[in-house]
Amino acid sequence: MMNRLRSLLTLALASIIAFSCAEDPYNAGPGGDGTTDGIPVARAERKEGRIALGYCTYYGSATPDPAVLTHINYAFAELYVRDGKYVTFKLQGNESRFQQIVNVKKQHPELKVCLSFSHTVANSDNYQAGGFSVMASTEEGRKAFAEDCLAFVRKWGIDGIDIDWEFPGISWSGHACDPAHDVENYTLLMKQLRATLGSQYLLTYAGYVMNAQGSPDDGCFIDIAAVDPYVDFVNIMTYDIAAGSEGQHQSAWNRPDYYWDCVRAIDAYLNAGVSPSKLVLGIPFYARHAWDNSDGYKGAVDYGKFATEYPASKGFKIDNWDEKGLVPYITKDGKMWAGYDNPKSIGLKAEKILAMGMKGFMYWDYDADDAAGTLRNAVWNAIMK
């Protein structure tokens, strides 16, 4: 199991691009004016309580369109730990990118913006010295971090904090971990954050598709039931869940013959006692290549790059359909190449989760969409229908 989990790859970082924030230049289409080829995009009316959440990265450039978002999670901020103690946190990349997102909220107060924290290190003045595992291991560290979070949301006028520690007790990307204590300390961290932030700020987390396991060798993850009382909702990362498995989709709805799928991920939370009204399903805005013994692991390609990366002239065919998994896939010369989500699968998944009473969708990430906003519009219309 762990070998399969370790096959997950992190997304490549892109260059930071300068921008202007004088107006409200959201990128809703090729012209950035809410149209596609001059034709207004038809959008469903916002429904109270439903969520269409996009992760906007520090290395992205698009100004998000508030007409298709209820929430933005800004990715990311990182922890600074020195000599075994938490010191502070900083935004990854350039602060002006975060200001760009905050400016959108200022013009659209109904939009919720949360700061998301990563377990990774990207800033040149930082290095991996224990991260979440060290910070959360002491009451002093947890309190100091929570107070810094409160000061930050107050300073910037944003709405809350999102924790993306992947994952307690496991090290997939070289970060420190303590399999014996991380799971419990994660719960204590979320308890402290809730106590410090109070009820006026959101507290969420990016959740794995499984509950905490009985043995560190099987994967620690997060104790879903223990954390539940402290959080407003959970963003389940229902993508990459079959990464490294040859011929398997990364986000199939229901494929019992696969390593994992969306149905089993949702069931993990429901069986732990989480209300469906606190669950948000993850949608990938990229294709994840299936494992191929001859060509090796191919990584991910943004949805907006499909036309150039998967040309028919090179044997690719897009939008093949898996009736069992309710997801599309790409073939090369007739062989499955990559799995992804498109408007059809998004619509079908929305019907399923809304029937369950779930809260909505989140997606990674906003900039991976095409210029017309095909996927973000599909997410919005499917959730708000």
15: pLDDT strictly greater than 60: no
Q: Looking at residue 41, what is its pLDDT?
A: 67
Instruction: Tell the residue number behind the tokens 């809260």, with chain if given.
Output: 359
- Please check the confidence at residue 263 and state whether its pLDDT lies above 50: yes
Confidence grade of residue 33 (pLDDT, cut at 50, 70, 90): very low
Please state the rounded mean pLDDT for residues 270-284. Answer: 98
Please give the share of the chain, as a percent, with pLDDT higher than 70: 85
pLDDT at 262 over 50: yes
pLDDT of residue 291: 62
Residue 32 has pLDDT above 50, yes or no: no
The SS3 call for residue 159 is coil
Quick one: DSSP state of residue 37? T
C-alpha distances out from residue 80 to 7, 91, 117, 244, 276, Å: 27, 11, 12, 32, 35
pLDDT of residue 31: 31
349, 326 Cβ separation under 8 angstroms? yes
126-140, 205-219, 287-301, 316-330: which has the minimum mean pLDDT?
A: 287-301
pLDDT at 244: 65
Dist CA 358 CA 254 (whole Å): 17
The two tokens of residue 49 are 């309580």
Say if strands 279-284 and 51-57 run parallel, antiparallel, or are unpaired: unpaired
Could you tell me the pTM of the whole model?
0.89
- The whole-number average pLDDT for the span 354-366 is 98
User: Is the separation of the CB atoms in 146 and 191 below 8 Å?
Assistant: no
Burial-class residue 99 by CB neighbours within 10 Å (0-12, 13-18, 19+).
Answer: middle
Please give the average per-residue pLDDT across 333-354, as a whole number: 96
Q: What is the mean pLDDT of residues 249-277?
A: 97
pLDDT at residue 279 is higher than 80: yes
Class of the CATH domain delimited by 2-6+41-287+341-384: alpha beta
Q: What is the overall mean pLDDT for the chain?
A: 88
Question: How confident is the model at residue 287, as a pLDDT?
Answer: 96
pLDDT higher than 50, residue 19: no
For 83, half-sphere exposure in the C-beta direction (CA atoms, 13 angstrom radius) is 1
pLDDT at 247 over 50: yes
Q: What are the structural domain ranges in the chain?
A: 2-6+41-287+341-384
130 — alpha (psi -120 to 50), left (phi > 0) or beta? Answer: left
Lowest mean pLDDT among 26-40, 61-75, 188-202, 358-372: 26-40
At 278, the pLDDT band (50, 70, 90 cuts) reads: very high
- Cis bond upstream, residue 365 (ω within 30): yes
What DSSP string describes 271-338? HTT--GGGEEEEEESEEEEPP-TTT----EEEGGGHHHHS-GGGTEEEEEEETTTTEEEEEETTEEEE
Q: List beta partners, residue 207.
A: 236
Render pLDDT for 88-116 as a digit per residue (tens, 0 to 9).
999 999 999 999 999 999 999 999 999 99
5 versus 136: the higher-pLDDT residue is 136
User: What digits encode the pLDDT tens for the residues 145-203?
Assistant: 999 999 999 999 999 999 999 999 988 777 899 999 999 999 999 999 999 999 999 99
- pLDDT at residue 29, as a whole number: 34
pLDDT at 26: 30
Secondary structure class of 116 (helix, strand, coil): strand
Q: What is the mean pLDDT of residues 240-244?
A: 80
- The CA-CA-CA angle for residues 245, 5, 307, to 5°, reads 55
Residues 204-241: pLDDT tens digits? 999 999 999 876 666 689 999 999 999 999 999 999 99
Residue 357: what residue type? Answer: G
